[in-house]
Amino acid sequence: MNKATVKDLCRLTNNYLGRRIQINGWVRTVRASKAFGFIELNDGTFFGSVQVVYDENLPNFKEISKLITGSAIRVAGVLVESPGAKQPFELKADSIEVEGLSAPDYPLQKKRHTFEFLRTIAHLRPRTNTFSAVFRVRSTAAYAIHKFFQERGFVYVHTPIITGSDAEGAGEMFRVTTLAFDQTPRDEKGAVDFTRDFFGKETNLTVSGQLEAENYAMAFGKVYTFGPTFRAENSNTPRHAAEFWMIEPEMAFAELQDDMDLAEEMLKFVISYVLENTPEEMQFFNSFIDKSLFERLDNVVKSEFGQITYSEAIDILKKSGQQFEYPVEWGVDLQTEHERYLTEKHFNKPVFVTDYPKEIKAFYMRMNDDGKTVAAMDLLAPGVGEIIGGSQREERLDALEKRMDELRLNKEDYWWYFDIRKYGGTRHAGFGLGFERLIMYLTGMTNIRDVISFPRTPKYAEF
């Protein structure tokens, strides 16, 4: 007898029809009658379930008829064509063994739940249709990311999670310490004495692997990171989490245009790969989560992304005749309403905005010849806003140091970052992609907490 998966049965039905097989899975629902019954069984390998038919010939017929939703069972029987209209085949059980009975207070009902409630049972929600689909797509998308970069010669770098540089410039950080915080050691001035901490210095969870990735790009040419990232910002929005995953490619001998080309190619690749390899899940999202999903994704894959400078974007916004809550002026950062206008109304496709004023961008971005703007790019996408942020990095040591002086950054912390400019530095560029935002874009899910298995947000670290 073959052990099979629901995915096998659905994809390779003819190989299994008429044969005796075993399926292990969890009960989605039982419809029991006096002398027979049906079980909807899902084994997690596939979006769909398999219908199991059983009758009173089973020695444990009564027990099976009383199975509670969520129970784990092992079913053996012959796969046959189904007379029912809703499924092409079904499993005619000759044996059903209960692996693990579910308790009567199993919280998932057959009718629909709100996502808010399901967040409170994040340990059980992957057993629902939506989350089953979300996390299978997430897995497939992660694979697609690796496939994309690996096939193009990028080396996967694991950058540190604990970082000693306290000024990467990407926001509030979580401190990492073994000091007892109710009696921290103090120096002569009364300040906390971090020399007595585990690492002998102040350390935090990383907010970005970029600086380290730049170093590795100067050895391997093309690298990427893909790992967890932490921001201690008090952001209470559907688009922010304290712990999320980020992808950060970095290329030596590359300029901003190369960076944008890479970002565009990568996005199109991942979208195509996911559409091709998880069609049932994507169909589900298009039907029940976001009815314009396919249209939107198709549009992205087929279109040439737009590309304008920040200055051009300001002009477009000024001439738009739109009333914005935040007035548009050269020098101010683009607000969400501005970004949405550009990508959803003006272009109606993803658009790169480049060459921002230096004042509103990070210190490491390369100064343009005008002395006012830097070689930065944000990719704005309809529906989600900023999905990628990147730049060409400042490779000229003097220009970098000058900029850091202006911003009063402590240059001593960056000696190793300066070294790659000193010892055979090259033009180089990279970007950061928030993985969860990509998943939101791919699935139409509108809350980041619903695309992370166990989300961490302000005031919330359950599970």
Partner RNA sequence: UCCUCGAUAGCUCAACGGUAGAGCAUCCGGCUGUUAACCGGAGGGUUGCUGGUUCGAAUCCAGCUCGGGGAGCCA
**Which residues, 6 to 35, sit near RNA by CB under 7 A?**
29, 31-35
Q: Which of 307, 309, 335, 426 binds RNA (CB under 7 A)?
A: 335
Residues 429-458 that bind RNA (CB under 7 A): 432-434, 436-437, 446-449
CB 453 within 8 A of CB 243: no
Which residue number, 49 or 203, has a Cβ lying nearer to RNA?
49
d(CA 69, CA 138): 26
CB 196 within 8 A of CB 186: no
Q: Which string of x and - marks every residue 32-51 that binds RNA (by CB under 7 A)? A: xxxxxxx-x----------x
Q: At what angle do helices 256-277 and 129-151 cross, to 10 degrees?
A: 130
Long-range pairs of 402-407 with CB within 8 A, sequence gap ≥ 24 = 403/358, 403/363, 403/367, 404/363, 407/363
Helices (H), 128-209: 129-151
Q: How far is the CB of 7 from RNA (least distance, A)?
A: 19
Q: Does residue 111 touch RNA according to CB under 7 A?
A: yes
Q: Does residue 459 touch RNA according to CB under 7 A?
A: yes
- Taking Cα atoms as reference points, which of 286, 302, 303 lies closest to residue 294? 286
Interface region with RNA, contact rule CB under 7 A, candidates 173-181, 266-274, 284-292, 332-340: 332-340
Q: Does residue 112 touch RNA according to CB under 7 A?
A: yes
CB 374 within 8 A of CB 355: yes
Which residue number, 269 or 341, has a Cβ lying nearer to RNA?
341
Q: How far is the CB of 323 from RNA (least distance, A)?
A: 14
DSSP 232-278: -----STT--SEEEEEEEEEES--HHHHHHHHHHHHHHHHHHHHHH-
Residues 193-232 that bind RNA (CB under 7 A): 208, 231
- Taking Cα atoms as reference points, which of 163, 162, 195 lies closest to residue 179? 195
Q: Does residue 107 touch RNA according to CB under 7 A?
A: yes
Helix (H, G, I), strand (E, B) or coil at 84: coil
- Taking Cα atoms as reference points, which of 35, 37, 19 lies closest to residue 27? 37
Q: Which string of x and - marks every residue 44-83 that binds RNA (by CB under 7 A)? A: -------x-x------------x-xx------------xx
Q: Which string of x and - marks every residue 227-266 that binds RNA (by CB under 7 A)? A: ----x-xxxxxxxxxx-x-x--------------------
Helix (H, G, I), strand (E, B) or coil at 379: strand
Q: Does residue 87 touch RNA according to CB under 7 A?
A: yes
Q: How far is the CB of 281 from RNA (least distance, A)?
A: 19
Q: How far is the CB of 234 from RNA (least distance, A)?
A: 5
Which residue number, 263 or 400, has a Cβ lying nearer to RNA?
263
Q: Which of 220, 257, 389, 426 binds RNA (CB under 7 A)?
A: 389
Q: Does residue 84 touch RNA according to CB under 7 A?
A: yes
Helix (H, G, I), strand (E, B) or coil at 140: helix
Interface region with RNA, contact rule CB under 7 A, candidates 253-261, 282-290, 305-313, 381-389: 381-389
Q: How far is the CB of 189 from RNA (least distance, A)?
A: 29
Residues 280-309 that bind RNA (CB under 7 A): none
Which residue number, 186 or 345, has a Cβ lying nearer to RNA?
345
Cα 311 to the center of its chain, rounded Å? 31
Q: Which of 86, 302, 319, 422 binds RNA (CB under 7 A)?
A: 86
What is the phi-psi region of residue 23: left when phi exceeds 0, alpha when psi lies from -120 to 50, beta otherwise? beta
Q: Which of 14, 114, 183, 323 binds RNA (CB under 7 A)?
A: 114
Residues 153-182 that bind RNA (CB under 7 A): 170-171
Phi, then psi, of 376 in degrees rounded to 5: -105, 160
Q: Which of 14, 109, 183, 323 binds RNA (CB under 7 A)?
A: 109
